[in-house]
Amino acid sequence: MNEIITAVLLVLGSLFSFVAALGMLRLPDTVIRMHAATKAGTLGAGLILIGEAFFYAELGITLRALAAITFLLLTAPVAAHLIGRAAYFSNVKLWHKTWIDQLAERYKTGGYFDPDHK
């Protein structure tokens, strides 16, 4: 039974990782690409780690897998936040259909951070 669960989790996790990489290649701009990398990538790695916990079914392995998942869940949003802020202030080109820029109100700039790059 555990083997079937492990196999299913392995396949699911690798498919989510593949979707993340596909989004990384195909999505239109940096901020949208971060969406694919952070969420789908973390989910894929987390599913595979849960599969490992099911496969070995030992306390030590399960705790280590849970520690790895917790660490991924804690660090992925922080890293994404850092990259997103740095990308915004280094004026990456946004997708032409993006029309909401809420940071502009906070920093009292007109529209996107530097209008010359629009």
Partner 1 sequence: MPVESMPVAIAGQFALAALLISIILALARLVKGPAAADRIVALDLISILIVAFLAAYSIYAGETSFLDVAIGYALIAFLGTAALARFLMRSALKKSENREKLENMRHYE
**Interface with partner 1, residue 94, by CB under 8 A:** no
1 by Cβ neighbours in 10 Å (0-12 / 13-18 / 19+) ranks as exposed
What DSSP character marks residue 94? Answer: P
**Interface with partner 1, residue 86, by CB under 8 A:** yes
| CB 43, CB 59: distance < 8 Å | no
**Alpha carbon distance 30, 94 (integer Å):** 7
**Judged by CB under 8 A, which of 15, 28, 98, 118 binds partner 1?**
15
**Interface with partner 1, residue 98, by CB under 8 A:** no
**Interface with partner 1, residue 118, by CB under 8 A:** no
| CB 84, CB 103: distance < 8 Å | no
Least Å from the CB of residue 67 to partner 1: 6
Least Å from the CB of residue 47 to partner 1: 8
Tell me which residue of 47, 50, 76, 79 sits closest to 64, measured CA to CA.
50
**Interface with partner 1, residue 85, by CB under 8 A:** yes
**Interface with partner 1, residue 66, by CB under 8 A:** no
Least Å from the CB of residue 99 to partner 1: 20
The CB-side HSE value for 46 (13 A sphere, CA atoms) comes to 15
User: Which parts of 35-54 interact with partner 1 (CB under 8 A)?
Assistant: 36-38, 41-42, 44-45, 48-49, 51-52
